[in-house]
Amino acid sequence: MTDLADLPLRAVAAKIAAKEVSPVEVTEACLARAAETEPKLSSFSLLMAESARAEAKAAEAEILAGGYRGELHGIPVGIKELYDVAGTPTTSSSNVRETWVAETDSASVVALREAGAVILGKTHTHEFAYGIVTPRSRNPWGEDHIPGGSSGGSGASVAAGSTYMSMGSDTGGSIRIPAAVCGVVGLKPTFGRCSRAGVTSLAWSLDHVGPLARTVADAAVSLNALQGYDPRDPGSVDVPKEDFTAALGKDVKGMRIGVPKNYYFDRVEPGVDSAVRSAIARLEAEGAILSEVTIPYADQIMAMEFAICLPEASAYHRTMLRESAHLYEEDVRTFLEAGEFVPATTYIQALRVRRLMQAELAKVFEGIDILLAPAVPAAAARAGAEVLDWGNGVEEPLASVYVRLSAPANLTGLPSIATPCGFNEEGLPVAFQAIARPFGEATAIRLCDAWQRMTDFHEQRPPR
């Protein structure tokens, strides 16, 4: 039965639709996998076995009665600990909110329930999503390595096979970073595509929500359910809904791929560089058209990210920090205290430069369909590490390492998909990211799905 836990979401959905397996069997397979892997990985903050079994039985009865809702019906999914799930704690993996219980479902959970998904549990985040380590969880590809962050529990649960899809959030890369280092797919939609209502904020103008899944096709199915305008989210954009599965099964012939000649390949591990460049060459051999592009305002990217993120996060936490500073983890408290000292003029200037970067990138996209680059500069770091040693006496804090290449898509709000493209010399996953123009998710899905039909990196499973 646990073999079901190793299949992609769409493959299991097809079996459920054909009544070859029931949602009850599928849910039990995921619970069995969680029982096997959780003692090592701790990807879940709350495993909701009893309610998941009840939801699976209800889905089974509805499907048997002819009420099949679609590919998410009866599929067990994980929900990042930032998301409200009615009747359960939304602790944000923090002692600050240890007793806070949600009264209603977040918009994403409502959408998933309407699609018939089974909520298997809540997955750990780095405290309040303010970090790239997720220290309570581990990476299925190496238990002494981090699963990335802040959606580390979501990345680990999908890679381990205890969920078919798990929700993440992405402020500086927190969907794509764990996806990249855990060997799964992470889809950050365009800013405003999916509602953030009922999700604990880190930095409101940078926050995105989206899925982590085994395949690009699975992420496309998930995005179909999650998209939609929501007036409760001030960043929500009213655009027509799309069927993102329509972008699947196509080739890359004639697609114009922009390859950055600055920034994205600066200071990356050799294994990452070679895997991503090999992927680009393979895509060109399949008919894609390559052109070198320059990333505008590259020297300002990290300054912009932190000048915006720090004060926005500190504003959100202002009251809680004054009342419960001792309950925060030291790294998060330090960031929040630092944000109090960012001048308003610095924040406003960062917003202005961001606008300039968005305008210049729009010009870049006039000549390309997609931007292809490494998702993160390095494979998963060892747990407990604070810096990455680049050699020759050069060290870089982990937060800078892992946010550096993902931050541009947060600053600009552009959709980006992290997709496995190889392994480094230690056998740890490596990924590229495909970045599209605003609301161009279908283009990124087309390319990344075509890549996965050419290769089998996404089919590899971590050792158990």
Residues forming the active site: 80, 150, 174
Rounded to whole angstroms, the Cα distance separating 113 from 73 reads 9
3-class secondary structure, 237 = coil
The CA-CA-CA angle for residues 15, 16, 22, to 5°, reads: 115
Alpha-carbon Rg for the chain, nearest whole angstrom, is: 20
The label of the residue with tokens 């240890």 reads 98
Q: What is residue 247's DSSP assignment?
A: G
142-146 contacts at long range (C-beta below 8 A, 24 or more positions apart):
142/380, 142/426, 142/427, 142/428, 143/40, 143/41, 144/382, 144/383, 145/181, 145/380, 145/381, 145/382, 145/383, 145/428, 146/181, 146/380, 146/381, 146/382, 146/383, 146/385
216: amino acid identity, one letter: V
3-class secondary structure, 145 = strand
Query: What is the bridge-based pairing of β-strands 208-213 and 165-170?
Result: antiparallel
Structure tokens belonging to residue 375: 């998702």
